[in-house]
Amino acid sequence: MSKKEYRFAYEEFDSADELNAADAALLKRAQEATADAYAPYSHFRVGAAARLSNGAIVTGTNQENASFPAGICAERTLLSAAASLFPGVGVDELAVSYFNEHGPSDRPISPCGICRQSLQEIEQRTGRPVRLVLGGQKGKVYIIPAAGQLLPLAFTSDELK
């Protein structure tokens, strides 16, 4: 038997004001996208914005459904739109923000499990890390160098071969 340990490092900023201009602009796009979310059931609006390797910016929002919780997260909406609009183009950075209609939106949130799986698969498919910028409408911001770090021991397409 051997014991294994998994760790990863990320950057924490006190606010978006400390970010470089490109990261701050991408996070602002994600914050603005929350206004377009369709979240009449949870009242938790999530917006995502990505900079693709061709320089294009794509956004996505969470889309809920009356048969709640059936819906789609902002990150997966964005990944689907990006793949449809720009087939084969990698995602360099992805910012995620939210607006909670019933409480503060003042700290970073992290992608859910299925979004982590989807992000990990994009990284595997394109052979490129997806850098994450995570923040609320204000407050701390986290930068994670590769989305796959959020899903250790991931189930991948390699297992299906």
Given the residues 18, 32, 75, 121, the one annotated as active site: 75
CA 33 to chain centre: 13
User: What is d(CA 26, CA 23) in angstroms, rounded to the nearest whole number?
Assistant: 5
Residue with tokens 């979004």: 115
Cβ-count burial 118-138 (b if 16+ within 10 Å, e if not): bbbbbbeeeeebbbbbbbbee
Helix (H) or strand (E) holding 49: strand 44-52
Examine residue 69 and say whether the peptide bond preceding it is cis (omega within 30 degrees of 0).
yes
User: d(Cα 130, Cα 51) in Å, to the nearest integer?
Assistant: 10
Q: Is 121 a catalytic residue?
A: no
**Kindly report the CA angle at 132 between 85 and 143, in degrees rounded to 5?**
155
Q: Which residues are catalytic?
A: 75
